[in-house]
Structure 1
Amino acid sequence: MDKKYFFFDIDNTLGLSISSIIPADTAYCLRQLRRRGHFVSIATGRLQCDAQHFADRYSIPAVVSDGGNSLSLDGEILEMEGLPLEPCKALLRELDERRLPWAVVTDNTICRYTPYADYPCADPKNYMKTVVRPVAIDSLDAVYKITYARPADEQNEPDRQGLPHLTYLDHTYLVEPTDKGKGILNMLKRVGGRPEDAVVFGDGLNDISMFRKPFFSIAMGNAKAELKERADYITDDNDKGGILHACVKFGWI
């Protein structure tokens, strides 16, 4: 059997919703893929530390995280790059001017820092810890993520500064890197894998960048319609054995 290089999104692909729990049949499938000699990696928008915790829990050796901006292998960080700094600072300044509360992730922890005591953080699915403290925009030397309150009035939308935006919890925007495909290519170079041997699994709009040729792309049954349109194959929902079914169907296990 030819060796394949598998890259799995976490939330709603491997994991049940936004959590660290994966179905038993999925955990079994991951173990079998590794026993058959395949390469197994996460490909997620989550911050490196959070993705690494998930990977360690399920003995997944490789991690493409931060939406493609970070790589780690066997627990060692190989690359970790933040968002472009000056556009981030410009966005934060404008958010202040428009009185739109924001929070920023500036280090490799799940803490986000905000100067706004009323920053929205009520949704229990939000895995980030919100810390209220002063944040000096001009002194920032790294930004990994930004979240900010979506304006009620569309006329109050700020200039996005060319930064990728995703709708997020608590009626906020999430600004984070979204080129998982780039991160996968960089990981393949590190481990000597061929792009045509890569298999990617995903469900959301932030997975679109890895649904590209020559990767073989598999959309979960619960995936967004836009992703399914780009997929080479659509499997079952992630909580109905979708990953196991696809791997059995194509003879990978």
Structure 2
Amino acid sequence: MSKKYFFFDIDGTLTDRKTGQIVPSALEAVKKLQDAGHFVSIATGRACYKAEKFRKENGFRHMVCNGGHGIIYEGELRENRPLDYEAAKAVYDQARELGYGIYTAIDDSNKVYASDFLFHEQAGMRKEPSVYIIDPQFDPDREKKIFKMYVSIPEAEEERLTAKEKVGHLRFEKEYLMFQPDAKREGILRMLFYAGGKPEDVVVFGDDYNDLNMFGERFFKVAMGNGCDELKEKADFVADENVKDGIYKTCEKFGWFE
């Protein structure tokens, strides 16, 4: 079989969302694909610092991370770009004008910055470990870099934040809207530049809304059975649920272990 270039989302695709651990049959599939000579990579929205432990523990040499803005090839970080600054700053300024609290990540770490406690007052603590830095003089213009933002705007009021349409955003929590790169497909194409692959040889596996971006033309697209309906509609093949050996069964079905 000709060489394929596999890209796997982490949460809900490789891992069991209940435990956060990689599904054993998925790990076995990854190793068998590598042994068969295929290129195997992670493709995740997680920040690089947050995904790196998972990558190393599970034997991946390659990773598209930071929503497509980060590239780790052969175990080395090659790229890690922030959001488009002008577009992100427009969201920041509008959210401030509308009276919403904001936490801003200005580098690839768990540190988030704010000029006041408004986010806490409106939305409480973020739902992941963070180092909160409250600086009354904080201004993103000092660094001109924004990697992620968290705006304490309720879902019912999102339409007020019109500037959001030019920046990738997701809502995993009802209390706040998260802004991060939404360019997995672009990241995969850049990874192919390093690896020397072609788009028509790419196979992508995903389950959630932030995987819609990589479910475009020329890639073979696999949606997990536990995935969202929108992703399944765009898929070339819908696998069984990930915890029911969906990845392994799909690879076996299409003869990718051979």
C-alpha root-mean-square deviation of aligned residues, in Å?
Answer: 2.0
Residues 84-93 or 58-67, more deviating: 84-93
Structure 2 gaps, min length 5: none
Task: Write the mapping of 1:41-56 to structure 2, written as runs, cut at 5 A.
Answer: 41-56=41-56
Cα gap change, 1:75/1:236 in structure 2, threshold over 3 Å: closer, same or farther? same
Deviation at 1:89, TM superposition (A): 1.8
Using the size of structure 1 for normalisation, the TM-score is 0.92
Task: Write the mapping of 1:157-236 to structure 2, written as runs, cut at 5 A.
Answer: 157-161=160-164, 162-236=166-240
Residue in 1 that maps onto 2:107: 107
Deviation at 1:110, TM superposition (A): 2.5
Structure with bigger helix share is 2
Residue 239 of structure 1: SS of its match in structure 2?
A: helix
- Provide Cα deviations, 1:101-155, integer angstroms capped at 9, x if missing partner: 11111111123223343523546xx334141312223213211111111237638
Alignment partner of 2:154 out of 120, 139, 151: 151
Deviation at 1:55, TM superposition (A): 0.6
Residue 163 of structure 2: SS of its match in structure 1?
A: coil
Residue 63 of structure 2: SS of its match in structure 1?
A: strand
Alignment partner of 2:247 out of 221, 243, 246: 243
Distance in 1 between residues matched to 2:239 and 2:38, nearest whole Å: 20
Distance in 1 between residues matched to 2:90 and 2:201, nearest whole Å: 41
Distance in 1 between residues matched to 2:20 and 2:188, nearest whole Å: 22
Residue 37 of structure 1: SS of its match in structure 2?
A: coil
Task: Write the mapping of 1:17-166 to structure 2, written as runs, cut at 5 A.
Answer: 17=17, 20-117=20-117, 118-119=119-120, 120-122=123-125, 126-134=127-135, 135-151=138-154, 154=157, 157-161=160-164, 162-166=166-170
Deviation at 1:186, TM superposition (A): 0.8
Whether the 8 Å contact between 2:4 and 2:39 is mirrored in structure 1 is yes
Residues 126-135 or 230-239, more deviating: 126-135
Whether the 8 Å contact between 1:121 and 1:170 is mirrored in structure 2 is no
Deviation at 1:52, TM superposition (A): 1.9
Cα gap change, 1:23/1:121 in structure 2, threshold over 3 Å: closer, same or farther? farther
The size of the alignment, in residue pairs, is 251
- Provide Cα deviations, 1:63-84, integer angstroms capped at 9, x if missing partner: 1111111111132111111111
Whether the 8 Å contact between 1:52 and 1:75 is mirrored in structure 2 is no
Structure 1 gaps, min length 5: none
Whether the 8 Å contact between 2:239 and 2:246 is mirrored in structure 1 is yes
- Provide Cα deviations, 1:21-51, integer angstroms capped at 9, x if missing partner: 1111111111111111111101111111212
